[in-house]
Structure 1
Amino acid sequence: MTLEAFGQSDPLTIGVELELQLVNTNNYDLTHYADDMLRLMAQRQLPGSVVPEMTAGMIEISTGVCRTSGEALAQLGQIRDALVQCADKLNIAVVGGGTHPFQQWHQQRIYDKPRFHELSTLYGYLTKQFTIFGQHVHVGCPDADTALYTLHCMSRYIPHFIALAASSPYVQGQDTAFDSARLNSVFAFPLSGRAPCVLTWDEFGHYFDKMTRTGVVKSMKDFYWDIRPKPEYGTIEVRVFDTPLTVERAAALAGYVQCLAAWFQHERPFTPCEDDYLVYSYNRFQACRFGLDAVYVDPASGEHLPLREHLLATMQRLAPFAEQCQAGDALALLRQEVQDNRNDARWLRERQAREQLLGEVIRQAALRFRGE
């Protein structure tokens, strides 16, 4: 199989995908209601799509192509409202967050779809442990080489994305001491991590050909990279975000990605190279473990500084691009939360400290997702 041509998209358009939890309203554990939700949602006229995910306690929603984070928020809000209404009919609830805090992986059911069964056969128990919930953000690129350039520049900001979106401190009923424990499950897959540092689509095609000849890779879907090209859409796809607890935060994160892409594509501020990735895994670990309290190592200078400080400096640098992308409100929301040292992981821990019952925390998270 050869690599497909890179498709056409309008530069800096965005699309958002959210993997969401379906929980019962008794003890707020995951419940296997994906088929029922899909059946009810199929009756609605909505933007984007609603599709199944790996296990039956999950569902994935996506926007259509959006030009601004405000447009993405409007679409996410419309889909969210429909989800809530359908869930109410089934006496279940929909929740954000990167992990369900106390679900047991062995109790999950693989959704009845050929690809999911193939993955289950290949990966064994890892497939059910993949009952985790992420946000993916697509951003449009004018051509394939620009897409690869944008991807490698964006990789410098993976710790930003992880820390801002972190919402998975609990696994199997335990506080993991990570702000984003979800990504530890992703790292278990052999084709996770970072994309190869190639800067032209021809070079990437050679890499793809070599991988397909090994028989390990059949399509781009087999790469679980933190950021990957999506040639069929003409985008790159940022995949490290935990699913936020609200659609407002999800749209704001998409706006942040869009502003970064605008900076990279208009000013070409970096010259990507393999050495940029020397500190990649360390920075990613720091953000997963400590969230906004992480240390960030600059890949060019080797300087160590608080991630929060680097985030705020970057947001200031992006101010003109926020105006261009109509993302001022999105960046203002994120900036305030960085200044307050608040992400969704902290919200979940604070609720658990007060309630001492994770089921009650999820009940409150379900209300938060509804906008209540």
Structure 2
Amino acid sequence: MPLEPFHDSSPLTLGVELELQLLSSHDYNLAPYAPDMLRLMHKESVPGSVVPEMTSSMIEISTDVCHSASEVHAQLAQTRDALVRSADKLNIAVAGGGTHPFQLWHQQRIYDKPRFQELSALYGYLSKQFTIFGQHVHIGCPSADAALVMLHRMSRYIPHFIALSASSPFVQSQDTAFDSARLNSVFAFPLSGRAPCVLRWSEFEQYFEKMTATGVVKSMKDFYWDIRPKPEFGTIEVRVFDTPLTIERAAALAGYVQALAAWFLDTEPFTPQEDDYLVYTYNRFQACRFGLQAVYVDPATGQHMPLAEHIARTMDAIAPQAERLGAAKVLQTLRSDVQAGSNDARWLRDRQREEQLLAEVSRQASLRFRGTAA
């Protein structure tokens, strides 16, 4: 299958996808209610889409094309409220979070959809272990070449996105000591990681042709990269975020991506190069393992600094773009969390420390998603 042409899109437009947990209200374990939820949600009028995911205890919601973080929030709120109404009818709950704290992967069911069944046949148990939950953010790009340059500029900030969104400290009832354990499951797939450092679309087309000629790749969906181009949308898609516990944080993260992208277009702060990736895997590991307490290595200088300091410096640099895009308030919220060393992984650990019961942690997470105080 040839690579699709890169379609036109308005620069800096946004689209957000959230993968969500479906929980039994009896024990707050994952429950295979996706078919019932989809049936009810098809009767609701909501922006974007509501679709199944790999296993039947998951559901994915998305926005339409948005122009600001506030628009993302408004659309997600409308869909969230419809999800809550549908879940109440089924006597189940919906929650965010990058992993479910105590589900057992072997108990999950692959959703009955041809692509998911094909992936299950190919990847075996990894498919059920892919019962993990992420947020994807699309950002509109002015051209195909500009999309590749933006993708590789954005790659320096992957540790920011991981640490700010981290919400997966628990796996199969164990504290993993990672803030984002979810990404360890993604890394198991053979075509995960980083995109090749090419800056012209013609070169990327050549790369794609070589990959399809091997028979390993049939479409862009086969790449599980941290950031990948989406030519059919005219965007790049950032894929490393854990699903936050609230739609407010999801919208704030989208606003951060948008402000960063605007800064890239306004200032062209650096030209990406292959050497940027010398410390990429190390920086990504640090953010997954330690969250906002991670160390960041600047790929340009080799300087080591606290990741929180690098995030703060970046927020200072992009403040004019955030103001222009109406994202100043959400960036200030994120900055306050960075200063406090607070993310969703810390919230989940704090709840477990207080409650000593992961089912109760999941129950409170579901209340937080619906906007109700625990």
CA deviation map 1:132-187 (0-9, x unaligned):
00000000001000000000000000000000000000000000000000000000
- Alpha-carbon distance, 1:338 to partner: 0.5
The equivalent residue for 2:189 is: 189
The equivalent residue for 2:307 is: 307
Q: What letter corresponds to residue 165 of structure 1 in structure 2? A: S
The equivalent residue for 2:86 is: 86
- Alpha-carbon distance, 1:61 to partner: 0.1
The equivalent residue for 2:251 is: 251
CA deviation map 1:209-246 (0-9, x unaligned):
00000000000000000000000000000000000000
Equivalent pairs, count: 372
What is the alpha-carbon distance in structure 1 between the residues aligned to residue 98 and residue 107 of structure 2?
Answer: 18
The equivalent residue for 1:129 is: 129
- Alpha-carbon distance, 1:329 to partner: 1.3
The equivalent residue for 2:358 is: 358
The equivalent residue for 2:41 is: 41
What is the alpha-carbon distance in structure 2 between the residues aligned to residue 79 and residue 288 of structure 1?
Answer: 29
Q: What letter corresponds to residue 209 of structure 1 in structure 2? A: E
What is the alpha-carbon distance in structure 2 between the residues aligned to residue 270 and residue 121 of structure 1?
Answer: 43
- Alpha-carbon distance, 1:318 to partner: 0.7
- Alpha-carbon distance, 1:4 to partner: 1.3
Aligned alpha-carbon RMSD (Å):
0.4
Q: What letter corresponds to residue 76 of structure 1 in structure 2? A: L
- Alpha-carbon distance, 1:261 to partner: 0.4
The equivalent residue for 1:213 is: 213
CA deviation map 1:283-302 (0-9, x unaligned):
00000000000000000000
- Alpha-carbon distance, 1:323 to partner: 1.1
What is the alpha-carbon distance in structure 1 between the residues aligned to residue 148 and residue 254 of structure 2?
Answer: 19
What is the alpha-carbon distance in structure 2 between the residues aligned to residue 195 and residue 261 of structure 1?
Answer: 18
- Alpha-carbon distance, 1:111 to partner: 0.1
- After TM superposition, the score normalised by the length of structure 1 is 1.00
The equivalent residue for 1:54 is: 54
Q: What letter corresponds to residue 28 of structure 2 in structure 1? A: Y
What is the alpha-carbon distance in structure 2 between the residues aligned to residue 109 and residue 116 of structure 1?
Answer: 11
What is the alpha-carbon distance in structure 1 between the residues aligned to residue 188 and residue 44 of structure 2?
Answer: 37
What secondary structure is seen at the aligned counterpart in 2 of 1:64? coil
The equivalent residue for 1:6 is: 6
What is the alpha-carbon distance in structure 1 between the residues aligned to residue 325 and residue 127 of structure 2?
Answer: 38
What is the alpha-carbon distance in structure 2 between the residues aligned to residue 120 and residue 149 of structure 1?
Answer: 34
What is the alpha-carbon distance in structure 1 between the residues aligned to residue 267 and residue 351 of structure 2?
Answer: 43
| Structure 1 unmatched runs, 5+ | none
Please give the residue correspondences for 1:300-339 in structure 2 after superposition, counting only pairs within 5 Å: 300-339=300-339
| Structure 2 unmatched runs, 5+ | none
Runs of 4+ in 1 over 4 A off after TM superposition: none
What secondary structure is seen at the aligned counterpart in 2 of 1:180? coil
What is the alpha-carbon distance in structure 2 between the residues aligned to residue 16 and residue 74 of structure 1?
Answer: 12
What is the alpha-carbon distance in structure 1 between the residues aligned to residue 197 and residue 172 of structure 2?
Answer: 36
- Alpha-carbon distance, 1:64 to partner: 0.3
What is the alpha-carbon distance in structure 2 between the residues aligned to residue 278 and residue 257 of structure 1?
Answer: 23
Please give the residue correspondences for 1:219-230 in structure 2 after superposition, counting only pairs within 5 Å: 219-230=219-230
The equivalent residue for 1:270 is: 270
What is the alpha-carbon distance in structure 2 between the residues aligned to residue 109 and residue 314 of structure 1?
Answer: 42
What is the alpha-carbon distance in structure 2 between the residues aligned to residue 2 and residue 37 of structure 1?
Answer: 35
What is the alpha-carbon distance in structure 2 between the residues aligned to residue 226 and residue 329 of structure 1?
Answer: 27
What is the alpha-carbon distance in structure 1 between the residues aligned to residue 329 and residue 9 of structure 2?
Answer: 25
What is the alpha-carbon distance in structure 2 between the residues aligned to residue 195 and residue 330 of structure 1?
Answer: 29
Q: What letter corresponds to residue 135 of structure 1 in structure 2? A: Q
CA deviation map 1:250-300 (0-9, x unaligned):
000000000000011121111110000000000000000000000000000
- Alpha-carbon distance, 1:347 to partner: 0.1
